[in-house]
Amino acid sequence: MNKICIVTGGSSGIGLAIVKAFISNDYTVYNLDIQHSTLGHFIQCDMSKVEQVQQAIAQINSQEKQVDVLISNAGIHRSASIENTSEELLDEVFAINVKGAFAATKAVLSLMKKQNQGSIIYIASDQALVGKSNSFAYNLSKHALASMAKTTALDYAKYNIRANAICPGTIETPLYHKAIDKYCAESGANKIQVHAEEAALQPLNRLGQPEEVAQYALFLASDKAPFITGSLQVIDGGYTTG
């Protein structure tokens, strides 16, 4: 019988790469996202709405009777310093990045406890480890996911439930290109040059790819990583080593 994996925000970028990787490895994958996708079993869900998340995962539980893996990936980025962060912007980022992860985790735990096994993976960021300018709310939210991985790992280790956070650096996704396009439109900078400068900031002199993060998630979810829990797994081309 195939293992069951739930991915939040699986319709694009890192989430989409994760959905593809897990399907290719014989998982039955459910994708909770507001944006439609034809890959896996799609359930339209606004991750900022706790009730919608609960209903979506209850639907999966009723159909499958098991959940082996939860990958909490859904997230948004907003650029602003603390002075330029309004209460509304802070709420918007935390509603999806943190509250969505909170709701999904709570919803799968009862079934994972009954199974006496499970793997929960949070897609955090290198910003869970280091600060970056003009990224106040996003940085806070990613630190929160790192904390969620650690506390969940400790609280549920007795049920053989593992919780870890993957901390990607700069990954070439649609979200990355959207941010670069916005910066270039506002500053008049050349996109090719900005892209090259971003790559040069990485010790490996390139950006990461979504598929690389997906393979990391696949390993952490597998039986090959049974002693890994409560950890922050960095995949950033060496960016945070300095």
Give the residue numbers annotated as catalytic, written as ranges.
138
Q: Provide the residue type at 31 as one letter.
A: N
In contact, 206 and 188? CB cutoff 8 Å:
no
Distance of alpha carbon 149 from the chain centroid? 12
Residue 129, both tokens: 């480890």
Residue 176, phi then psi, degrees to nearest 5 = -60, -50
Query: How many CB atoms are located within 10 Å of the residue 150 CB?
Result: 17
- CA–CA gap between residue 54 and residue 161 (Å, rounded): 20
| Backbone phi, psi, residue 207, to 5° | -85, 155
Q: Residue 193: how many CB atoms within 10 A of its CB? A: 10
Distance in angstroms (rounded) separating the CA atoms of residues 24 and 37: 16
CA angle (107 as vertex; 44, 140 as ends), nearest 5: 85
Residue 128 DSSP class = G
Torsion of CA 6, 61, 41, 32, to 10 degrees: -50
Query: Do 95 and 103 touch, CB atoms closer than 8 A?
Result: no
